[in-house]
Amino acid sequence: MLTILFDGIAYGMLLFVISCGLAVTLGLMNFVNLAHGAFAMLGGYCAYVLVNLYGVPFFASLPVAFMFAAMIGLLAERTLYVHFYNRSHLEQVLFTIGLVFMTSAAVDYFLGSQQRFINLPSYLQGRFDFFGIGIGKYRLLIILVCALILIVLQLILGYTRFGSRLRAAVDDQRVARGLGINVNWVFALTFAVGCGLAGLGGALGAEILSLEPHFPLKFMIYFLIVVSVGGTSSITGPFLASILLGIGDVAGKYYAPRYGGFVIYTIMIVVLVLRPQGLFARGTSK
């Protein structure tokens, strides 16, 4: 029972790390980025190639995966995404679905369509017993890393100049511009970091999330659930939503494998219909 809870939390943490960038894109620029999962996948494959084909240690591959996804994200943002900020949601959807198809096909072409596993170091395999709870070492690592990221993110957002600029830009873009904040730059950087985190999450969670070319499409709905249920006005909303979703999904697969997906999608619809701003959004609407 508690093991399921533990696994669920690990899963939820991963979802959070991957989708927090999406929350910012959606909240900051009102941009529907269905291709966010593609960056997670790229990070995952980056780590896979490094570890399995070049023998790079797993831990060393994580920062590389982050940088790789972040650079590609920055490049994509400056060259492509920037043209879509003031377009309709339909055009954003078409564009980002197109990106998903292209990355999936490219990955399939270069690396094959089968599911890939990253060779984990032996000390991360297996589980140990902690007061009767079976704890997987790998999942424990995920929780620790993700918790660390969460804390760092909170600190950056709460206590740095960049954080306050970002919050200003989220609250009111026009006013932020008026205050001399370079919103474009803030956004590009945030977008890159968001992609980097997604890439890191993809690398870290390759084992749990099953790394294969259709990853972005398969998990798209999960990331969207996190941001739509959690809201985009804070970082805690998506975090809580991720944890709930993670636990719900793991428990659902365990106890009611047949109805898990059904229940989660239904809950998403209900939340969207009743609280379009998200379950954990602040009371005011814009």
Partner 1 sequence: MSSLDTAKDASNVMTRKRSWHWLEYAFWLAAAASVFLLPSQHALLTQIAIWSLFALSLDLLLGYAGIVSLGHAAYFGFGAYVAALFAINFTGEPVTGLLVAGVAAGLLGLVTSLLVLRGTDLTRLMVTLGIALVMYEIANQMSWLTGGADGLTGMPVNPVLGFFPIYFRQANSYAYVLVVLFVLFVVAKRIVHSPFGYSLRAIKGNPLRASSIGIPNNPRLIAVYTIAAAYAGIAGALLAQTTPVVSLTYIDFQRSADVLLMLIIGGTGYLYGGIIGSALFLVAQKFIGNITPQYWEFWIGFALVVIALFARDRGLFSIVERIAAWRKRGAKP
DSSP code string of 171-189? H-HHHHHHTT--HHHHHHH
Q: With binding defined as CB under 8 A, does residue 273 bind partner 1?
A: yes
Residue 159 corresponds to which amino acid? Y
Q: Total residues at the site for partner 1 (CB under 8 A)?
A: 42
Instruction: Name the residue nearer to partner 1 (CB basis): 19 or 92.
Output: 92
Rounded CA-CA distance 96/83 in Å is 12
End-to-end CA distance of the chain, in Å? 41
Cα-trace Rg, the chain? 18
x-or-dash string of contact with partner 1, 29-68, rule CB under 8 A: -x-x------------------------------------
Minimum separation from the CB atom of position 228 to partner 1 (A): 5
Rounded CA-CA distance 46/181 in Å is 34
Rounded CA-CA distance 95/108 in Å is 20
Minimum separation from the CB atom of position 173 to partner 1 (A): 17
**3-state secondary structure (DSSP) of residue 135:** strand
Instruction: Name the residue nearer to partner 1 (CB basis): 113 or 164.
Output: 113
Q: Site residues for partner 1, window 71-110 (CB under 8 A)?
A: 80, 83-84, 87, 89-95, 97-106, 108-109
Q: Which two tokens stand for residue 23?
A: 């929350």
Instruction: Name the residue nearer to partner 1 (CB basis): 83 or 282.
Output: 83
Judged by CB under 8 A, the residue of 141, 217, 251, 279 near partner 1 is 217
Contact 206, 111 (CB under 8 A): no
Q: Site residues for partner 1, window 7-36 (CB under 8 A)?
A: 26, 30, 32
Instruction: Name the residue nearer to partner 1 (CB basis): 26 or 203.
Output: 26
Cβ-based neighbours of 16, under 8 Å, separated by 6 or more: 146, 150, 226, 238, 239, 242, 243
Q: Site residues for partner 1, window 108-167 (CB under 8 A)?
A: 108-109, 113
Contacts to partner 1 by CB under 8 A: 26, 30, 32, 80, 83-84, 87, 89-95, 97-106, 108-109, 113, 217, 221, 224, 228, 258-259, 261-262, 265-266, 268-269, 272-273, 276
